[in-house]
Amino acid sequence: MAFAVDWAKWQNCSSWFSGANVRERRRFNRFNLQGKVFLHLAGKKIEVPAADISVTGVGIFLDSALFGTKPTGEVGSCRIESLDLACTIDAYVSVMRIQRLGKHYLIGLRFESIADEYLRVIQAYQTLCRIRERRAAA
């Protein structure tokens, strides 16, 4: 028995919930991060804008033309620089998530090896973001 779906109806995800309070379900919350990520992956060295960060990884925006194929599973090193962070963060990462956003991709990089000191820097940034969110809501 064939199962037919009218995909045009599902194009706008926000219509699925129509006003419902939807919360992202993750082990660790992600927080927006303005900065740059210097990535050495698949034999290439690139500089890309950061999208978000958590204690488990960092999200980046990547132009699809930089890699011929989707780099899922690739392992490399990265350096994260942002004025919002107390210091530059260095870590080994692997590509875990790829989401297409128009002509670009949102790539989720998971930290495979990162120093405890850098995790504390990320946690401090997340605490600061939570404080800002609470003040904005008040």
Q: Which fold has domain 29-137?
A: Thrombin, subunit H (2.40.10)
Q: What is the pLDDT of residue 74?
A: 80
For residue 35, what pLDDT band results from cuts at 50, 70 and 90?
very high
When computed from its CA atoms, the radius of gyration of the chain, rounded to whole angstroms, is: 17
**pTM, rounded to two decimals:** 0.74
The DSSP 8-state label assigned to residue 20 in this structure reads: -
- H/E element, 55: none
Whether 106 and 51 have beta carbons less than 8 Å apart is answered as: yes
| Annotated domain spans of the chain | 29-137
Question: Which amino acid would we find at residue 68?
Answer: G
Inform me whether the pLDDT recorded for 24 exceeds 80. no
Residue 54's nearest CA partner among 77, 80, 18 is 80
Q: pLDDT: is 1 or 92 the higher one?
A: 92
Environment class of 125 (CB within 10 Å of its CB; exposed 0-12, middle 13-18, buried 19+): buried
Query: Using 50, 70 and 90 to split pLDDT, how confident is the model at 104?
Result: confident
